[in-house]
Structure 1
Amino acid sequence: MTTYVLIPGACHGGWYYDPISERLRAEGHEVHAVTLSTGRVNLDDHVAEVLDLVERHDLRDVVLVGHSYGGLVITCVADRVPERVATLVYVDAFVPRDGESAYDIVHGDWRRWYVEGAAGDGFGVAPLPIFDERATPHPLATLLQRARITGAVDRVADRRYLFMAEFPDSPLATTHERLRDDPTWHVESWPSGHNVLRDAPERFLEVLRSASRDKPGVGGAA
């Protein structure tokens, strides 16, 4: 049995992963699809929520997955408890370096969305029209706060980056360029849009299965 912790992107909840969570559970795996807090919270608060989940359930050898914004969270979590993480899977996601925020990494219209999207109350960034009808405002502070990374995250030997090449004006293209030739990462480019659960669910599921602790030869944390 493998333990998966799945972190969604901005404005989304654990429900985003329902199509694959149910299938992984049916195969006997433990799956925690997290809905992060909204309201007046920052990145540290989201990281603390996931750390609490990991420690409260004494989770070990975790396959920690982050989509989009979720990459910020899983990076910080793995940096705090690398000994509990076996694999990091970034799904068209942010991979912050120390002192970087989502706002620092994105550009142009994405920055405008963060600021103008929060104009209503100054706290929550309104979902884009293309998002699922269940989407909710995302806390602006989580996108502006800069990540504090000590480097301990590098102790997780199995790090995977899935880049969705058909995401127009992708704010993650620079992250893909930075990682694709790094021998410490396994990087793939897919002919998919950003919504991987819509565009490439079976391929994504196979990546998660390949990270299973039940399969021989899969590396864990260093």
Structure 2
Amino acid sequence: MTAFVLIPGMLHGGWWFRPLTDGLRAAGHEVYPLTLTGVAERGHLNNGTVNLDTHIQDVVSVLEAEQLTDVVLVAHSYGGMVASGAADRVPERIASLLYADAFVPRDGESAYGIVDEVWKQRYLAGASADGLTTAGRNPALDPRAGVHPLASLLQSITLTGALDAVTRRTYLHASAFEESPLLETFTRLSEDPTWTVITLPFGHDLIREAPEEFLKLALAAAG
């Protein structure tokens, strides 16, 4: 049995992973789908202080409270920022990293700094209501996708290099994601022999468009 900790992307909660969660549990694994502080159904916790460090601590706290080791950390989209920070803090608890069309930051980078001008404007436009939380404006989003703390997108990550101890690292590239802000990340990792990079002919919402492929690759990440 392997423990999977699932980190969703911007605006989404742990419920986004439901098909993957069900499949992993049916295969006998332990699964922890997280909703980060100030996101989706936890949006009421936004108070202007929730940032990337808060989200990293969300994950670390679960790993420590549940006494999890040999974990497969699965991250989608923005969740890659969080997974990187958590793996850097407690690499001894992580066996494998699976980034599903996600950010893979380097030390000092932020989600806002990685994306292009189009996405920068989308982040800021979504926060026009209060300046603290950005909201989804795409009608294709799950109706449960609510708000997301803007500070978590703006804050730069601090990485010590400790996460390099996690040598099993897989990146799933969604090649049909139009206007993807992650193409430079995909190119960089494709040229890095320490990463396994897999291209999938689907859009960014892999859990909805490719649930069977996602499950198969998650199980493979468990070794």
Place the TM-score, normalised by the shorter chain, in its bin: over 0.9
Alignment counterpart, residue 100 of structure 2, candidates 91, 107, 111: 91
TM-score calculated relative to the size of structure 2? 0.94
SS of residue matched to 1:187: strand
**What is the Cα deviation at residue 22 of structure 1?**
1.4
Alignment counterpart, residue 164 of structure 2, candidates 127, 130, 154: 154
**Aligned partner of 2:62: which letter?**
L
- Structure 1 stretches of 5 or more lacking a match? 213-217
| 1:14-93 correspondence to structure 2 within 5 Å | 14-38=14-38, 39=46, 40=48, 41-93=50-102
Task: Determine if the alignment matches structure 1 residue 127 to structure 2 residue 136.
Answer: yes
Counterpart of 1:13 in structure 2 is 13
**What is the Cα deviation at residue 181 of structure 1?**
1.6
Task: Determine if the alignment matches structure 1 residue 203 to structure 2 residue 216.
Answer: no
The 8 Å contact of residues 91 and 165 in structure 2, kept in 1 or not, is answered as: yes
Q: Deviations over 1:42-85 (max 9, x none)?
A: 00000011100000010000000100000000000000011110
**What is the Cα deviation at residue 211 of structure 1?**
2.1
SS of residue matched to 1:15: helix
Counterpart of 1:103 in structure 2 is 112
**Aligned partner of 1:140: which letter?**
L
**Aligned partner of 1:97: which letter?**
R
SS of residue matched to 1:97: coil
In structure 1, how many angstroms separate the alpha carbons of the residues matched to 2:82 and 2:172?
Answer: 16
**What is the Cα deviation at residue 2 of structure 1?**
0.6
The 8 Å contact of residues 170 and 221 in structure 2, kept in 1 or not, is answered as: no
The 8 Å contact of residues 97 and 221 in structure 2, kept in 1 or not, is answered as: no
Query: How many aligned positions are there?
Result: 213
**What is the Cα deviation at residue 128 of structure 1?**
2.8
TM-score calculated relative to the size of structure 1? 0.94
Between the aligned residues of both structures, percent identity stands at: 52
Counterpart of 2:43 in structure 1 is none
Counterpart of 1:215 in structure 2 is none
Compute the RMSD of aligned alpha carbons. 0.8
Task: Determine if the alignment matches structure 1 residue 186 to structure 2 residue 196.
Answer: yes
| 1:109-120 correspondence to structure 2 within 5 Å | 109-120=118-129
In structure 1, how many angstroms separate the alpha carbons of the residues matched to 2:29 and 2:64?
Answer: 18
